[in-house]
Chain A
C-alpha cells in the first residue's frame, strides 16, 4: 500500500516535471528563434529613425548625421566578420593590427556607399517586411547563426533583402552578411579579393583607404 502510493507520488512528480518541460520547451525554442529578428528590427529601426530624424535635417548637419548613422550601423553589423569574409583566405596573411586597420576602413567603405545612397533619396515611404527567420546550423566553435528574410519596399520597387546573423557565446546577435536580390555583399568582395594573393596587405589597405578619401 505504502509502496504503491510512493510509486504514485513519484509518477505524479515525474509527470508534472515532464509536462512542465514540454510546456516550457516551445516557449524556449520560440524565444530563441525570435531573438535575432528582434535584434535586427531594433537595429534597422534605429538606422531608419536616424535617417528621418528632423534634428539632422539641415545641410550643416550632414557630417553629424553620417556619424550618427555609422554608430547605429556599428552596433548591429559585425564589420570584423564582414572583413574576414571579404578577404577570404587573404585574411591569414594580415597581422592583427593590419586586420583591425582593414576592418576599420572596410566598414567605412560599406557605410559610405550604402548610407549615402539611402540618404540621397526621400525614405519616408520605406516599408520593411520581415518574412521568415530560419535558424542555421551552428559552427564548429559554437557560433549560432540565423537567416532572416525581409522585403524592402521603396519607390514602387520591392527588393528582397536577406540578413545573415550570428551570435558568439555571451555576445549579441549581429549581422555578418547581407544578400540583396540574392547577391551576397561579402561574397561579392571575396570574389574581388580572391585573385589578390600576390598583393601585400599594406597595398590592399591603402587601396581601400584611398577609395574612402576620394
Chain B
C-alpha cells in the first residue's frame, strides 16, 4: 500500500515536472519568437526605424473588411447628406455661446464614465479632480453649462473610457470594426463602449424618442465644432478608408499609453 502511494507520488511529481517543463519551454519559445520577429522587421528607413519596432505593425487586422467598408460608406454618406448640412444649419442658427454651453453640459454629464475609468486605471488623483470639477460645474456652472472648474480653478478633464481601461489591462484591440453612426472602433473598444453605455446618464432616459433626440443633439452639436476636419482627412488621403482606420488606431494607442 505504502509503495503504491509512493509510486503515485513519484508519478504525480513527474507529471508536475513535465507540465512545468512544457510551460517553461512554451514561454521561452514565445520570447524567442517575438525577439526573432522584432529582429526581422524590415527597417527600410532608419529615421522612422525605431517606431516601426516599438509599435510593431501599425495595422490591426480587418477580417470583416466588407462589412466595415459598407459601414464606412454608410457613415460617409450620412455625414455628407444628413449630419453636415444639419450641423451647418444648426451652427448658423444657434449662437456660439449656446453651442459651447451644450458641449460643456454633455461633457459634464459624462462625468461617471471618466470617474469610473480613472479609478479602474488606478489614476486616483485624476479621479478626484474629475469629481471636484463635476461638483463645481454642476453647482456653480448651472448643471455644467459653464465650466468654472476650468477658467477659475484651471482643472482639466481627463478623458478616459472603458476601451482605454481594457487597453491599460494589456488587452489588444482584437480586430477593426466600423459601427454604424458611431464610426471607427475595434473589438476591444466596442466592448468598452458597451460598458460605458451603462455609465452614461443618457442611457437611463426612459422615453426612447427623448433619448434618441438628445443623442442626435449631442452629435450635431459636437459636429458643429468640427466641420471640415473629416473633409480635410478625406481630401489628403489616397485611400480614405485606410487613412481613417490608421488615424483611429494611432489615436487610440496614444490615449491608452497616457
Contact = CB atoms under 8 A, between A and B. Distances in A.
A33 interface: no
B50 interface: yes
A136 B196 CA distance: 38
B243 A139 contact: no
A123 B50 CA distance: 35
B218 interface: no
Interface string B22-54: 000000000000000000001011111111000
Contact of A182 (B49, B237, B254): B254
A183 B236 contact: no
A148 interface: no
**Chain A binding site: helix, strand, loop or mixed by DSSP?**
helix
Nearest to A176: B47
B205 interface: no
B47 A85 contact: yes
Given A117-B232, A187-B51, A85 B250 contact: no
Given A120-B228, A145-B47, A181-B251, A192 B236 contact: no
Nearest to B240: A192
A91 B235 contact: no
Nearest to B258: A182
B242 interface: yes
B236 A114 contact: yes
Interface string A108-121: 01100110010010
Nearest to A140: B46
B47 to A, nearest CB: 6
Given A182-B251, A182-B255, A194 B236 contact: no
Interface string B220-233: 00000100100010
Contacts, number: 85
A22 to B, nearest CB: 32
Given A110-B236, A114-B236, A191 B246 contact: yes
Contacts of B168: none
Interface in A183-200: 183-184, 186-194
**Chain B binding site: helix, strand, loop or mixed by DSSP?**
helix
A74 B98 CA distance: 41
B254 A181 contact: yes
Interface residues of A, number: 42
A160 B253 CA distance: 15
Interface residues of B, number: 30
Nearest to A121: B228
A194 B59 contact: yes
B239 interface: yes
A207 B243 contact: no
Contacts of B45: 84-85, 88, 91
A187 B246 contact: yes
Given A139-B46, A140-B46, A191 B236 contact: no
Nearest to B242: A192
A187 to B, nearest CB: 6
A141 B43 CA distance: 14
Contacts of A156: 100, 225
B44 A139 contact: no
A97 interface: no
B44 A91 contact: yes
A44 B49 CA distance: 26
A7 B44 CA distance: 56
Given A92-B44, A143-B47, A156-B225, 10 more contacts: A88-B44, A114-B232, A114-B236, A176-B47, A182-B253, A182-B255, A183-B247, A192-B237, A192-B246, A193-B238
Interface of B: 42, 44-51, 58-59, 100, 225, 228, 232, 235-239, 242-243, 245-247, 250-251, 253-255
